[in-house]
Protein backbone atom coordinates (compact mmCIF):
# COMPACT_ATOMS: atom_id res chain seq x y z
CA UNK A 1 0.00 0.00 0.00
CA UNK A 2 1.38 3.42 -0.93
CA UNK A 3 2.11 5.80 1.92
CA UNK A 4 -0.10 8.89 2.18
CA UNK A 5 1.26 12.19 0.98
CA UNK A 6 3.51 14.10 3.37
CA UNK A 7 1.73 17.28 4.41
CA UNK A 8 3.90 20.36 4.82
CA UNK A 9 2.75 23.83 5.82
CA UNK A 10 4.85 26.66 4.42
CA UNK A 11 4.73 29.40 7.03
CA UNK A 12 6.48 32.65 7.81
CA UNK A 13 6.20 36.39 8.04
CA UNK A 14 4.44 38.37 5.33
CA UNK A 15 6.52 38.67 2.15
CA UNK A 16 9.19 36.20 3.25
CA UNK A 17 8.94 34.33 -0.05
CA UNK A 18 6.67 31.40 0.81
CA UNK A 19 4.86 31.29 -2.52
CA UNK A 20 8.18 31.85 -4.27
CA UNK A 21 9.66 28.82 -2.55
CA UNK A 22 6.71 26.68 -3.59
CA UNK A 23 6.98 27.77 -7.20
CA UNK A 24 10.59 26.64 -7.19
CA UNK A 25 9.99 23.34 -5.38
CA UNK A 26 7.02 22.37 -7.55
CA UNK A 27 8.17 24.09 -10.78
CA UNK A 28 4.74 25.65 -11.13
CA UNK A 29 5.43 29.24 -12.16
CA UNK A 30 1.72 30.07 -12.29
CA UNK A 31 1.00 29.00 -8.69
CA UNK A 32 -0.18 31.78 -6.40
CA UNK A 33 0.94 35.36 -6.79
CA UNK A 34 4.47 36.60 -6.26
CA UNK A 35 4.70 40.29 -5.47
CA UNK A 36 6.67 42.75 -3.39
CA UNK A 37 3.38 43.95 -1.91
CA UNK A 38 2.83 42.68 1.65
CA UNK A 39 0.13 40.14 2.37
CA UNK A 40 -0.21 38.83 -1.18
CA UNK A 41 -1.38 35.38 -0.02
CA UNK A 42 -4.65 35.78 1.90
CA UNK A 43 -5.87 32.18 2.07
CA UNK A 44 -4.37 28.74 2.59
CA UNK A 45 -3.69 27.25 -0.82
CA UNK A 46 -2.75 23.64 -1.54
CA UNK A 47 -0.20 22.64 -4.15
CA UNK A 48 0.90 19.06 -4.79
CA UNK A 49 4.18 17.52 -5.82
CA UNK A 50 3.60 14.30 -7.72
CA UNK A 51 6.05 11.44 -8.17
CA UNK A 52 5.19 8.83 -10.80
CA UNK A 53 1.65 10.14 -11.01
CA UNK A 54 0.96 9.99 -7.27
CA UNK A 55 0.91 12.87 -4.79
CA UNK A 56 4.10 12.55 -2.74
CA UNK A 57 4.04 15.90 -0.94
CA UNK A 58 1.09 18.20 -0.31
CA UNK A 59 2.18 21.75 0.47
CA UNK A 60 -0.07 24.29 2.18
CA UNK A 61 0.84 27.85 1.29
CA UNK A 62 -0.31 29.97 4.23
CA UNK A 63 -0.89 33.72 4.69
CA UNK A 64 1.79 35.76 6.36
CA UNK A 65 1.85 36.13 10.11
CA UNK A 66 0.99 39.81 10.58
CA UNK A 67 0.63 40.40 14.33
CA UNK A 68 2.34 37.59 16.19
CA UNK A 69 3.32 39.83 19.12
CA UNK A 70 -0.29 40.76 19.97
CA UNK A 71 -1.47 37.19 19.47
CA UNK A 72 1.18 35.86 21.84
CA UNK A 73 -0.05 38.31 24.50
CA UNK A 74 -3.64 37.28 23.81
CA UNK A 75 -2.79 33.60 24.26
CA UNK A 76 -1.55 34.25 27.79
CA UNK A 77 -5.21 34.29 28.82
CA UNK A 78 -5.35 30.60 27.89
CA UNK A 79 -2.19 29.75 29.84
CA UNK A 80 -3.74 27.60 32.54
CA UNK A 81 -1.91 24.69 34.14
CA UNK A 82 -4.15 22.07 32.58
CA UNK A 83 -3.32 23.05 29.03
CA UNK A 84 -0.37 22.18 26.85
CA UNK A 85 0.75 24.71 24.22
CA UNK A 86 -1.17 22.88 21.42
CA UNK A 87 -4.30 22.81 23.60
CA UNK A 88 -4.04 26.56 24.14
CA UNK A 89 -3.79 27.04 20.38
CA UNK A 90 -6.90 24.91 19.83
CA UNK A 91 -8.79 26.87 22.50
CA UNK A 92 -7.88 30.10 20.76
CA UNK A 93 -9.05 28.75 17.40
CA UNK A 94 -12.48 28.07 18.85
CA UNK A 95 -12.86 31.66 20.09
CA UNK A 96 -14.22 34.72 18.26
CA UNK A 97 -10.81 36.36 17.87
CA UNK A 98 -9.80 33.56 15.49
CA UNK A 99 -12.40 34.92 13.08
CA UNK A 100 -11.77 38.56 13.85
CA UNK A 101 -8.61 40.44 14.80
CA UNK A 102 -6.34 37.41 14.40
CA UNK A 103 -8.00 35.79 11.40
CA UNK A 104 -4.79 35.59 9.36
CA UNK A 105 -2.78 34.06 12.20
CA UNK A 106 -5.61 31.61 12.90
CA UNK A 107 -5.45 30.32 9.32
CA UNK A 108 -1.75 29.63 9.73
CA UNK A 109 -2.05 27.90 13.10
CA UNK A 110 -5.05 25.85 12.00
CA UNK A 111 -3.10 24.59 8.99
CA UNK A 112 -0.06 23.85 11.12
CA UNK A 113 -2.05 21.59 13.45
CA UNK A 114 -3.13 19.48 10.46
CA UNK A 115 0.24 18.80 8.82
CA UNK A 116 3.22 16.55 9.42
CA UNK A 117 5.82 19.35 9.45
CA UNK A 118 6.39 22.97 8.48
CA UNK A 119 8.88 24.97 6.47
CA UNK A 120 9.51 28.27 8.23
CA UNK A 121 10.51 30.60 5.41
CA UNK A 122 12.65 33.53 6.53
CA UNK A 123 13.75 36.45 4.43
CA UNK A 124 17.38 36.58 5.54
CA UNK A 125 17.56 40.23 4.53
CA UNK A 126 15.17 41.23 7.32
CA UNK A 127 16.57 42.45 10.65
CA UNK A 128 15.90 40.16 13.60
CA UNK A 129 13.01 41.91 15.35
CA UNK A 130 10.82 40.91 18.35
CA UNK A 131 7.92 40.03 16.05
CA UNK A 132 9.97 37.18 14.56
CA UNK A 133 10.66 35.75 18.02
CA UNK A 134 6.93 35.82 18.68
CA UNK A 135 6.28 34.00 15.39
CA UNK A 136 8.72 31.22 16.25
CA UNK A 137 7.15 30.80 19.68
CA UNK A 138 3.67 30.55 18.15
CA UNK A 139 4.80 27.94 15.65
CA UNK A 140 6.57 25.89 18.31
CA UNK A 141 3.34 25.92 20.32
CA UNK A 142 1.71 23.75 17.63
CA UNK A 143 4.16 20.91 18.43
CA UNK A 144 5.02 20.16 14.82
CA UNK A 145 8.54 19.71 13.45
CA UNK A 146 9.72 23.02 11.99
CA UNK A 147 12.52 23.31 9.43
CA UNK A 148 13.73 26.90 8.93
CA UNK A 149 14.48 27.88 5.34
CA UNK A 150 16.68 30.96 5.01
CA UNK A 151 15.57 32.59 1.80
CA UNK A 152 17.40 35.21 -0.32
CA UNK A 153 20.72 34.39 1.35
CA UNK A 154 22.62 35.42 -1.78
CA UNK A 155 21.49 39.00 -1.40
CA UNK A 156 24.15 41.42 -0.20
CA UNK A 157 21.80 42.56 2.59
CA UNK A 158 21.51 39.04 4.05
CA UNK A 159 21.76 38.81 7.86
CA UNK A 160 22.28 35.08 7.95
CA UNK A 161 24.53 34.89 11.09
CA UNK A 162 22.02 36.84 13.18
CA UNK A 163 19.20 34.60 12.04
CA UNK A 164 21.13 31.43 12.77
CA UNK A 165 21.81 32.68 16.29
CA UNK A 166 18.12 33.36 16.89
CA UNK A 167 17.00 30.01 15.51
CA UNK A 168 19.53 28.14 17.64
CA UNK A 169 18.16 29.89 20.72
CA UNK A 170 14.82 28.20 20.02
CA UNK A 171 16.34 24.80 19.34
CA UNK A 172 16.09 25.09 15.56
CA UNK A 173 19.58 23.98 14.61
CA UNK A 174 18.82 22.32 11.28
CA UNK A 175 18.66 25.21 8.82
CA UNK A 176 18.45 25.06 5.03
CA UNK A 177 19.98 27.83 2.91
CA UNK A 178 17.86 28.47 -0.13
CA UNK A 179 17.22 31.14 -2.70
CA UNK A 180 13.89 30.93 -4.46
CA UNK A 181 15.11 33.24 -7.21
CA UNK A 182 18.39 31.41 -7.89
CA UNK A 183 18.47 28.08 -6.03
CA UNK A 184 21.71 26.52 -4.90
CA UNK A 185 22.71 23.33 -6.63
CA UNK A 186 21.70 20.55 -4.24
CA UNK A 187 19.58 22.82 -2.02
CA UNK A 188 16.41 20.95 -2.91
CA UNK A 189 18.01 17.66 -1.97
CA UNK A 190 19.24 19.13 1.33
CA UNK A 191 15.77 20.45 2.09
CA UNK A 192 14.15 17.02 1.87
CA UNK A 193 17.05 15.25 3.55
CA UNK A 194 16.87 17.56 6.57
CA UNK A 195 13.11 17.08 6.64
CA UNK A 196 13.75 13.34 6.74
CA UNK A 197 15.78 13.84 9.91
CA UNK A 198 12.71 15.46 11.51
CA UNK A 199 10.25 12.91 10.11
CA UNK A 200 12.13 9.67 10.63
CA UNK A 201 9.13 7.49 9.77
CA UNK A 202 8.90 9.26 6.40
CA UNK A 203 12.61 9.18 5.61
CA UNK A 204 12.38 6.52 2.91
CA UNK A 205 9.44 8.28 1.32
CA UNK A 206 11.39 11.53 1.20
CA UNK A 207 14.41 9.74 -0.23
CA UNK A 208 12.14 8.56 -3.03
CA UNK A 209 11.08 12.16 -3.66
CA UNK A 210 14.72 13.25 -3.91
CA UNK A 211 15.57 10.43 -6.29
CA UNK A 212 12.56 11.21 -8.48
CA UNK A 213 13.46 14.91 -8.65
CA UNK A 214 17.04 14.09 -9.57
CA UNK A 215 15.84 11.72 -12.28
CA UNK A 216 13.60 14.48 -13.62
CA UNK A 217 16.58 16.83 -13.74
CA UNK A 218 18.55 14.29 -15.78
CA UNK A 219 15.62 13.86 -18.16
CA UNK A 220 15.27 17.63 -18.55
CA UNK A 221 18.90 18.00 -19.55
CA UNK A 222 18.61 15.14 -22.00
CA UNK A 223 15.47 16.68 -23.50
CA UNK A 224 17.18 20.09 -23.74
CA UNK A 225 20.18 18.53 -25.50
CA UNK A 226 17.88 16.72 -27.93
CA UNK A 227 15.97 19.90 -28.71
CA UNK A 228 19.16 21.85 -29.33
CA UNK A 229 20.46 19.02 -31.50
CA UNK A 230 17.33 19.29 -33.63
CA UNK A 231 17.97 23.01 -34.02
CA UNK A 232 21.61 22.44 -34.99
CA UNK A 233 20.79 19.80 -37.62
CA UNK A 234 17.76 21.67 -38.89
CA UNK A 235 19.67 24.91 -39.34
CA UNK A 236 22.71 23.18 -40.82
CA UNK A 237 20.50 21.54 -43.44
CA UNK A 238 18.80 24.81 -44.34
CA UNK A 239 19.56 25.69 -47.97
CA UNK A 240 17.94 28.09 -50.41
CA UNK A 241 18.64 28.40 -54.13
CA UNK A 242 18.87 31.88 -55.59
CA UNK A 243 19.22 32.69 -59.31
CA UNK A 244 22.62 34.22 -59.97
CA UNK A 245 20.98 37.18 -61.67
CA UNK A 246 19.13 37.96 -58.45
CA UNK A 247 22.07 37.24 -56.22
CA UNK A 248 24.48 39.45 -58.15
CA UNK A 249 22.13 42.42 -57.92
CA UNK A 250 22.96 44.30 -54.66
CA UNK A 251 19.33 45.32 -54.22
CA UNK A 252 17.49 42.19 -55.31
CA UNK A 253 19.68 39.78 -53.33
CA UNK A 254 18.62 41.37 -50.04
CA UNK A 255 15.19 39.73 -50.23
CA UNK A 256 16.39 36.07 -50.24
CA UNK A 257 19.03 36.89 -47.65
CA UNK A 258 16.44 38.50 -45.38
CA UNK A 259 14.14 35.51 -45.89
CA UNK A 260 16.91 33.14 -44.84
CA UNK A 261 17.61 35.26 -41.78
CA UNK A 262 13.92 35.27 -40.86
CA UNK A 263 13.77 31.48 -41.20
CA UNK A 264 16.76 31.02 -38.89
CA UNK A 265 15.39 33.49 -36.35
CA UNK A 266 12.02 31.73 -36.36
CA UNK A 267 13.68 28.40 -35.69
CA UNK A 268 15.71 29.98 -32.86
CA UNK A 269 12.57 31.54 -31.36
CA UNK A 270 10.75 28.22 -31.46
CA UNK A 271 13.62 26.40 -29.81
CA UNK A 272 13.90 29.00 -27.03
CA UNK A 273 10.17 28.77 -26.33
CA UNK A 274 10.43 24.97 -26.17
CA UNK A 275 13.29 25.24 -23.68
CA UNK A 276 11.32 27.66 -21.51
CA UNK A 277 8.36 25.27 -21.48
CA UNK A 278 10.64 22.33 -20.71
CA UNK A 279 11.95 24.09 -17.60
CA UNK A 280 8.48 25.26 -16.57
CA UNK A 281 8.75 28.92 -17.52
CA UNK A 282 6.47 31.14 -19.53
CA UNK A 283 6.92 32.28 -23.09
CA UNK A 284 8.61 35.66 -23.14
CA UNK A 285 10.63 35.11 -19.95
CA UNK A 286 13.91 35.05 -21.90
CA UNK A 287 15.83 38.29 -22.01
CA UNK A 288 15.90 40.09 -25.33
CA UNK A 289 19.48 41.27 -24.79
CA UNK A 290 21.20 39.11 -22.18
CA UNK A 291 24.79 39.78 -23.19
CA UNK A 292 26.66 42.58 -24.97
CA UNK A 293 28.25 40.11 -27.37
CA UNK A 294 24.94 38.36 -28.05
CA UNK A 295 22.64 41.36 -28.03
CA UNK A 296 19.56 41.13 -30.20
CA UNK A 297 19.92 37.45 -30.96
CA UNK A 298 16.17 37.11 -31.38
CA UNK A 299 16.04 39.61 -34.22
CA UNK A 300 18.51 39.17 -37.05
CA UNK A 301 21.75 40.02 -35.29
CA UNK A 302 22.91 36.43 -35.64
CA UNK A 303 24.01 37.69 -39.03
CA UNK A 304 25.45 41.08 -38.14
CA UNK A 305 29.08 41.58 -39.18
CA UNK A 306 30.07 42.24 -35.56
CA UNK A 307 28.42 39.07 -34.29
CA UNK A 308 29.91 36.98 -37.08
CA UNK A 309 33.35 38.46 -36.50
CA UNK A 310 33.09 37.62 -32.81
CA UNK A 311 31.97 34.06 -33.60
CA UNK A 312 34.80 33.69 -36.10
CA UNK A 313 37.31 34.70 -33.44
CA UNK A 314 35.82 32.19 -31.01
CA UNK A 315 35.84 29.43 -33.60
CA UNK A 316 39.45 30.20 -34.45
CA UNK A 317 40.78 29.89 -30.91
CA UNK A 318 43.29 27.10 -30.98
CA UNK A 319 44.42 24.99 -33.92
CA UNK A 320 42.65 21.95 -32.50
CA UNK A 321 39.35 23.81 -32.45
CA UNK A 322 39.74 25.08 -35.99
CA UNK A 323 40.56 21.59 -37.19
CA UNK A 324 37.58 20.18 -35.34
CA UNK A 325 35.17 22.57 -37.02
CA UNK A 326 36.70 22.41 -40.45
CA UNK A 327 35.95 25.15 -42.97
CA UNK A 328 34.80 24.00 -46.37
CA UNK A 329 35.26 26.64 -49.07
CA UNK A 330 34.40 25.63 -52.63
CA UNK A 331 33.95 28.99 -54.27
CA UNK A 332 35.76 28.24 -57.50
CA UNK A 333 32.84 26.13 -58.70
CA UNK A 334 30.52 29.05 -58.03
CA UNK A 335 32.66 31.39 -60.05
CA UNK A 336 33.37 33.67 -57.08
CA UNK A 337 36.45 34.35 -55.08
CA UNK A 338 36.29 34.47 -51.29
CA UNK A 339 36.91 38.21 -51.37
CA UNK A 340 34.21 38.75 -53.97
CA UNK A 341 31.73 36.69 -51.97
CA UNK A 342 32.43 38.76 -48.88
CA UNK A 343 32.11 41.99 -50.82
CA UNK A 344 28.76 40.86 -52.17
CA UNK A 345 27.54 40.19 -48.66
CA UNK A 346 27.03 36.46 -49.17
CA UNK A 347 28.29 35.71 -45.68
CA UNK A 348 25.66 37.95 -44.11
CA UNK A 349 22.88 35.79 -45.44
CA UNK A 350 24.73 32.69 -44.59
CA UNK A 351 27.20 31.43 -47.08
CA UNK A 352 27.59 30.45 -50.62
CA UNK A 353 30.96 29.48 -49.29
CA UNK A 354 30.59 26.11 -47.60
CA UNK A 355 28.84 22.79 -47.24
CA UNK A 356 27.29 22.50 -50.68
CA UNK A 357 26.70 18.78 -50.55
CA UNK A 358 27.19 16.38 -53.48
CA UNK A 359 29.15 17.59 -56.45
CA UNK A 360 26.30 16.62 -58.72
CA UNK A 361 23.97 19.16 -57.19
CA UNK A 362 26.63 21.85 -57.42
CA UNK A 363 27.19 21.14 -61.08
CA UNK A 364 23.46 21.15 -61.73
CA UNK A 365 23.10 24.47 -59.97
CA UNK A 366 25.95 25.92 -61.98
CA UNK A 367 24.28 24.84 -65.19
CA UNK A 368 21.04 26.38 -63.97
CA UNK A 369 23.00 29.48 -62.91
CA UNK A 370 21.79 29.17 -59.31
CA UNK A 371 23.58 30.19 -56.13
CA UNK A 372 22.83 28.44 -52.82
CA UNK A 373 22.49 30.21 -49.51
CA UNK A 374 23.24 28.23 -46.36
CA UNK A 375 24.01 29.13 -42.76
CA UNK A 376 27.69 29.52 -41.96
CA UNK A 377 29.39 27.96 -38.98
CA UNK A 378 29.91 31.42 -37.54
CA UNK A 379 26.16 32.04 -37.46
CA UNK A 380 25.51 28.58 -36.01
CA UNK A 381 28.17 29.19 -33.38
CA UNK A 382 26.49 32.37 -32.17
CA UNK A 383 23.02 30.85 -32.28
CA UNK A 384 23.93 27.66 -30.41
CA UNK A 385 26.16 29.47 -27.90
CA UNK A 386 23.21 31.65 -26.88
CA UNK A 387 20.87 28.67 -26.63
CA UNK A 388 23.38 26.82 -24.46
CA UNK A 389 23.73 29.85 -22.21
CA UNK A 390 19.94 30.01 -21.97
CA UNK A 391 19.85 26.39 -20.78
CA UNK A 392 22.57 27.18 -18.24
CA UNK A 393 20.52 30.10 -16.95
CA UNK A 394 17.35 27.99 -16.73
CA UNK A 395 19.21 25.28 -14.82
CA UNK A 396 20.11 27.81 -12.13
CA UNK A 397 16.95 29.91 -12.10
CA UNK A 398 14.23 29.66 -9.50
CA UNK A 399 10.59 30.01 -10.42
CA UNK A 400 10.27 32.92 -8.01
CA UNK A 401 12.50 35.25 -9.98
CA UNK A 402 10.55 38.17 -11.39
CA UNK A 403 13.30 39.71 -13.53
CA UNK A 404 13.71 38.53 -17.11
CA UNK A 405 16.00 35.60 -17.79
CA UNK A 406 19.52 36.57 -18.78
CA UNK A 407 22.31 34.13 -19.55
CA UNK A 408 25.70 34.45 -17.93
CA UNK A 409 28.91 35.62 -19.50
CA UNK A 410 30.12 33.44 -22.38
CA UNK A 411 32.97 31.11 -21.62
CA UNK A 412 36.08 31.88 -23.62
CA UNK A 413 38.09 28.86 -22.53
CA UNK A 414 39.48 26.45 -25.09
CA UNK A 415 37.33 23.63 -23.70
CA UNK A 416 34.04 25.52 -24.18
CA UNK A 417 35.01 26.53 -27.72
CA UNK A 418 36.00 22.97 -28.50
CA UNK A 419 32.61 21.74 -27.29
CA UNK A 420 30.76 24.04 -29.68
CA UNK A 421 33.21 23.00 -32.40
CA UNK A 422 32.39 19.35 -31.68
CA UNK A 423 28.68 20.15 -32.00
CA UNK A 424 29.20 21.83 -35.37
CA UNK A 425 31.34 18.96 -36.58
CA UNK A 426 28.73 16.40 -35.50
CA UNK A 427 26.05 18.37 -37.37
CA UNK A 428 28.14 18.75 -40.55
CA UNK A 429 26.56 15.75 -42.40
CA UNK A 430 23.34 17.79 -42.54
CA UNK A 431 25.08 20.24 -44.89
CA UNK A 432 24.66 17.78 -47.73
CA UNK A 433 21.03 16.97 -46.94
CA UNK A 434 18.67 19.91 -47.51
CA UNK A 435 15.87 17.34 -47.25
CA UNK A 436 16.70 17.08 -43.52
CA UNK A 437 15.30 20.52 -42.78
CA UNK A 438 12.25 20.03 -40.59
CA UNK A 439 9.03 21.49 -41.86
CA UNK A 440 10.20 21.60 -45.45
CA UNK A 441 7.22 19.46 -46.40
CA UNK A 442 3.70 19.24 -45.04
CA UNK A 443 4.14 15.62 -44.03
CA UNK A 444 7.75 15.50 -43.00
CA UNK A 445 9.21 12.38 -41.36
CA UNK A 446 12.82 12.27 -40.19
CA UNK A 447 14.93 9.62 -41.83
CA UNK A 448 16.95 7.11 -39.77
CA UNK A 449 20.14 8.70 -41.12
CA UNK A 450 19.06 12.13 -39.93
CA UNK A 451 18.07 10.78 -36.52
CA UNK A 452 21.48 9.14 -36.16
CA UNK A 453 23.14 12.53 -36.73
CA UNK A 454 20.72 14.21 -34.30
CA UNK A 455 21.66 11.63 -31.66
CA UNK A 456 25.37 12.32 -32.17
CA UNK A 457 24.82 16.06 -31.92
CA UNK A 458 22.68 15.57 -28.81
CA UNK A 459 25.52 13.71 -27.11
CA UNK A 460 27.92 16.57 -27.83
CA UNK A 461 25.25 19.03 -26.73
CA UNK A 462 24.72 17.21 -23.43
CA UNK A 463 28.43 17.42 -22.67
CA UNK A 464 28.33 21.16 -23.38
CA UNK A 465 25.30 21.62 -21.11
CA UNK A 466 26.97 19.70 -18.29
CA UNK A 467 30.06 21.88 -18.64
CA UNK A 468 27.99 25.07 -18.73
CA UNK A 469 26.28 24.37 -15.39
CA UNK A 470 29.22 22.70 -13.66
CA UNK A 471 30.86 25.94 -12.43
CA UNK A 472 27.71 26.83 -10.45
CA UNK A 473 27.87 23.52 -8.54
User: What is the Cα–Cα distance from 269 to 132, expressed in whole angstroms?
Assistant: 46
| pLDDT, tens only, 18-37 | 877 787 777 665 554 444 44
| pLDDT, tens only, 415-434 | 577 888 889 989 989 988 88
Rg (CA), the chain: 29
- b/e burial code for range 90-119 (CB count within 10 A of at least 16 → b): bebbeeebbeeebebbbbbbbbbeebbbbb
Q: What is the pLDDT of residue 109?
A: 92
Domain ranges of the chain: 6-198, 218-472
Judged against a pLDDT cut of 60, whether residue 224 lies above it is answered with yes
- Lowest-pLDDT choice from 130-144, 236-250, 260-274, 458-472: 458-472
% residues pLDDT > 90 (the chain):
20
Judged against a pLDDT cut of 80, whether residue 116 lies above it is answered with yes
**DSSP label at 28?**
-
Provide the mean pLDDT of the chain. 74
Q: What is the pLDDT of residue 450?
A: 93
Three state DSSP letters for 222-284: HHHHHHHHHHHHHHHHCEEEEEHHHHCCCCCCHHHHHHHHHHHHHHHHHHHHHHHHHCCCCCC
Domain covering 6-198 in this structure, CATH number:
3.40.50.300
User: What is the Cα–Cα distance from 93 to 108, expressed in whole angstroms?
Assistant: 11
> Model pTM?
0.72
Give, in order, the Cα–Cα distances in Å from 320 to each of 224, 316, 421. Answer: 27, 9, 9
Q: What is the pLDDT of residue 9?
A: 93
User: What is the Cα–Cα distance from 14 to 17, expressed in whole angstroms?
Assistant: 8
| pLDDT, tens only, 303-344 | 555 555 655 555 555 333 333 333 333 322 233 333 333 333
**DSSP label at 184?**
P
Q: What is the pLDDT of residue 140?
A: 92
Amino acid sequence: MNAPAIRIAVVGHTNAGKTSLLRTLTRRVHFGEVSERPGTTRHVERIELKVQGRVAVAFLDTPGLEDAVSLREHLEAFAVDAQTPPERIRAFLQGPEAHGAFEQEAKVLRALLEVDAAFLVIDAREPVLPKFRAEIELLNSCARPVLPVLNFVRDGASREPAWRELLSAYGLHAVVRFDAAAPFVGAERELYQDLGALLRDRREQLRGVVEALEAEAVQRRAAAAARLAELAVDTSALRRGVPSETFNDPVRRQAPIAELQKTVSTKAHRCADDLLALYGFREGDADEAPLPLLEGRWSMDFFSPEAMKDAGVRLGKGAAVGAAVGVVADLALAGLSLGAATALGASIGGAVSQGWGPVGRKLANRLRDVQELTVEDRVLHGLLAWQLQLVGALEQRGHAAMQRIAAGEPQDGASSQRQIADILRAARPARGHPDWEAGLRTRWIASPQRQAVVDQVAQAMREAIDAAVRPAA
